[in-house]
Structure 1
Amino acid sequence: MTLFGLVRHGQTEFNRQGLFQGVSDVPLNDTGREQAHRALDALPPIAWDAALSSTLSRAEETARIIAEDHAIPFAGTDARLVEIDWGAAEGNPVGEMEDRYPGRTFPGRETTQSVIDRATAALDEIASQRPDQNLLVVAHGTLIRLLLSGVTGEHLPSIPNGTLSQLEVVTGPEQETWTVSMVAGEELAPRTRTVPRDGTPRFALPDHHLRPRGLEPARD
C-alpha cells in the first residue's frame, strides 16, 4: 500500500483575482508561500518518505517549501500531475468565461477523462515503484478534485489552496484498490474502489464534475 498525501499548491495572483489558471505557469504569491509553510499544521503527524510535485512552478515551490520545513526528501516532478488545460479560458475571469461558455465548454479545453487518466497513471506508476511508502504529492485543485471524485463517486466542492487529502493505492498483478480517507483536511469514512489492471480507464466522470459542487450556475 502506498499512501499519497495530495496537497493543492499555495495561492497565486491568478487564484486571488479569480482567473482560470490551468497549465499557465503562474508562481506563488506571498500568501501562497505562507500557506505552503502551514500546509501540514494541525494534521496528524505522518512520517513522509518523499515529496513530489507537478512540473508547474507553483506546485514545485510549494513542495520544496514543505519538504524543507519538515526534512522530507524532494523526489522530483511529474508532468502528468499538471493542472487541467482550460484552453481558451486560461488567464480569463471565471465568471466571464462561464457566462460565455456554459458548462465550461471552452475551446481547446482538456477533457475530464484525460485529466483522470494521466493522474491515475502517474500515481499507479509511483505506487508500483514505491510500495509501502508515504508520499506527499503537490498538485492542483481541479486535478485533485477530479481524481478524488473518480474514486469516491461523489461530486466534490473546491479544494482550497494549501490543504491535504489522503489517497491509498494498492497495486496488484490484476487489480488495484484506491481508497480516499481525507478530503481537504477533513477525515471521512474510507471510500474504496477496486478496478482491473486491464488498460481500460480506471474511473469515469461526467463533464458536470468540471464545476465544483456548490458553485453557483453561470449567470444568464
Structure 2
Amino acid sequence: MGPKAALPLLALLSVIGAEAMTHSPPAELNAEKITSSELPDTGQPARAGMLKRVALVRHGETAWNQLGLLQGRVDLPLNETGRAQAARAAVSLSASSWDEIVCSPLERAQQTAQSIQASVGHVSMSLDARLTEKSFGVAEGMGRHAAFEQWPDGCFDGGESEEAVSGRVQSLVADLMQMNTTSVIVVCHVVIIRHLAMQIARVDPGFVENGSVLTLVRKDDAQTWKPHFEGR
C-alpha cells in the first residue's frame, strides 16, 4: 500500500493511526517536500557533533495491535510476536554504531528499546514523554473500523489533536538537532514516527509496521535527509 499523500494532513495521520495493525509499509517513500510553515528548519551548517543519523523504530506488536484495536495511551506490553519483532529490529540496528536511544515512556516502546539497547552495545537510554503515542480519547480500546464509522474525521471525543501532536514533536526535533552526538535511535509509535519523519526529513513514510526501522541520514550538504527502511 502506498503513501496517502493526497489526503489532508489531519485526516491522513488519523487514518494511519487507525490502520496500524493490518497494512505493510509502502514499497517506496514519498519524498515530496512538506510546505507547511509550521515545520522546523532542520538544515544547519555542518559542525562537529552534528546529528547525522536518526533511526525511527516503531514498537513491537501488542495484544491490542493483534486484535485491531485503537491503543493510543493505553499501556500494554509486547506479546510474543512483538518481542520477536523487537529482537529483529535490534539485530538490524546492531550493524551500525549508535550513540544514544530516546524512547517513549509507554511499556511497549520501552521493552522494544531495551531489546535494542542489549544488542547495540553500551549506549544510554532516556525516556521522553513527547514521544508518547497520540491519545485517541474515548476511542481507545475500540475496533478501528467501529471508531472511524463513529468519527470519520478521526477527531475522537477526548482525543489529542494533530496540532498538539505536531507541537510536541516539533519541540523534540529542536532538542534532537542540538544534541552533541551524531546518531540516535528513537523508539516510539506510528503517528509520532510520521510526524518525526515529516519534520526532520520532509518525507512521508506512509505506514510503518510494528518493529519497523526507518533510518534518516543527513546528506553531505547538511541541509537535507535521505530516508531508508532497514531491510529494503
Alignment RMSD (CA, Å) = 2.4
Q: Are 1:4 and 1:137, in contact at CA under 8 Å, matched by a contact in 2?
A: yes
Q: Summarize the Cα distance change of 1:153–1:28 in structure 2 as closer, same or farther, 3 Å threshold.
A: same
Cα offsets for 1:2-29 (capped at 9, x unmatched): 1211100000011000011111111111
Q: Distance in 2 between matches of 1:134 and 1:52?
A: 11
Q: Summarize the Cα distance change of 1:57–1:96 in structure 2 as closer, same or farther, 3 Å threshold.
A: same
Post-superposition offset of 1:168? 5.0
Post-superposition offset of 1:40? 4.2
Which one of the candidate residues 175, 195, 204 is aligned to 1:146? 195
Post-superposition offset of 1:120? 2.5
Task: Report sequence identity in percent.
Answer: 32
| TM-score normalised by length of structure 1 | 0.73
Instruction: Output aligned runs, 1:16-95, within 5 Å.
Output: 16-41=66-91, 45-95=95-145
Report what 1:185 is aligned to: 230
Cα offsets for 1:72-98 (capped at 9, x unmatched): 423210000111111111111101111
Q: Summarize the Cα distance change of 1:142–1:129 in structure 2 as closer, same or farther, 3 Å threshold.
A: same
Q: Summarize the Cα distance change of 1:117–1:75 in structure 2 as closer, same or farther, 3 Å threshold.
A: same
Q: Greater relative contact order (Cα 8 A, min sep 6): structure 1 or 2?
A: 2
Q: Are 2:218 and 2:226, in contact at CA under 8 Å, matched by a contact in 1?
A: no
| 1:134 aligned partner, one-letter code | S
Q: Are 1:8 and 1:160, in contact at CA under 8 Å, matched by a contact in 2?
A: yes
Task: Give the structure with the higher percent strand.
Answer: 1
Q: Are 2:90 and 2:115, in contact at CA under 8 Å, matched by a contact in 1?
A: no
5+ unaligned residues in a row in structure 1: which ranges?
171-175, 188-220
Report what 1:96 is aligned to: 146
Report the number of matched residues. 180
Post-superposition offset of 1:164? 1.0
| TM-score normalised by length of structure 2 | 0.69
**Does residue 167 in structure 1 map to residue 229 in structure 2?**
no
